[in-house]
Amino acid sequence: MAQAILNLLKSITDVDQLIVALVSMVPLIELKGAIPIGEGLGLPIYETALIAYFGSTLIIIPIFFLLIPIFNLLKKIPFIKKFVEKLEAMLRSRAEKVAANIGGSADERQRQFLVRALLIFVAIPLPLTGVWTGAAIAVFLNMRFKDSVIPLALGNFIAGSIVTLLTYLFHDYVDYIITGMFLIALIMLAVAIIRIITAKPKADSNGQEK
């Protein structure tokens, strides 16, 4: 299966470095999947790690500044309006939980705690803990870009370092790692879609569904 994944990616472009960069920008996969893929393509581990890191870190900028405008635009399309609203509510709820866990919110000037929480959240190389989710959390907590970009980038560096080390140590099993990462990503995507579809709309203060 790993070879089939690599062949599929090679059908998009023959430039291995570009494949790694593009994969590192994909939500759920990010550098956690891009680094093993680069290893599977035969690129040097240090080159793969650098490309994956910069690719997945650069995506922070459009997420931070375009996420809300894109959501607002998509909510104008009738047949996906409800889905987008539920996705937005889910991300906002996750952001509120992060704030609650450190005993405050961005509005209460607990930014220093949020910065640390954001760094730790992104640094753990697990599904749904990458820069996509981390940047979305920062957006929904109304954190400033300059307060968010450093912990996001540093957390991503730590996560990338862990994945790079594991990929290097388990080089002989890289095919299994690639297959496992993509299967996990597909499962998490399916679970997320089901949760969004089945989520009940929140009621406002008057008891009306939003």
| 204 inside domain | no
Q: State whether 26 and 14 are in the same domain.
A: yes
Q: Which residues of 113-134 are buried (b: 16+ CB within 10 A; e: fewer)?
A: bbbebbbebbbebebebbbbbb
| 173 inside domain | yes
| 35 inside domain | yes
Question: 184: which strand partners?
Answer: none
| 207 inside domain | no
Q: State whether 72 and 143 are in the same domain.
A: yes
Domain that holds residue 167: 2-57+158-184
Helix axes 78-101, 111-123, angle to 10 degrees: 110
CA 118 – CA 100 distance, rounded (Å): 13
pLDDT by residue, tens only, the chain of 210 residues: 777 888 888 888 889 999 999 999 998 889 999 999 999 999 999 999 999 999 999 999 999 999 999 999 999 998 888 888 888 888 888 887 776 765 555 455 566 777 888 888 899 888 778 899 899 989 988 888 988 999 999 999 999 999 999 999 998 888 888 888 888 888 888 888 888 888 776 555 445 555
Amino acid, single-letter form, for residue 47: E
| 116 inside domain | yes
CA 120 – CA 198 distance, rounded (Å): 30
Tally of domains within the chain: 2
| 87 inside domain | yes
Q: State whether 34 and 48 are in the same domain.
A: yes
Q: State whether 85 and 168 are in the same domain.
A: no
| 203 inside domain | no
Inter-residue contact 9 to 37 (CB < 8 Å): yes
CA 48 – CA 100 distance, rounded (Å): 37
Q: What is the pTM of this model?
A: 0.83
CA 42 – CA 46 distance, rounded (Å): 12
Tokens for 60, please give them. 């922070």
Q: State whether 92 and 114 are in the same domain.
A: yes
Sign of CA dihedral 147, 149, 154, 159: positive
How far CA 26 is from CA of 3, 47, 86, in Å, comes to: 19, 19, 21
Amino acid, single-letter form, for residue 96: E
Given the structure tokens 């989710």, which residue do they identify?
Answer: 133
Q: State whether 87 and 132 are in the same domain.
A: yes
Q: State whether 64 and 135 are in the same domain.
A: yes
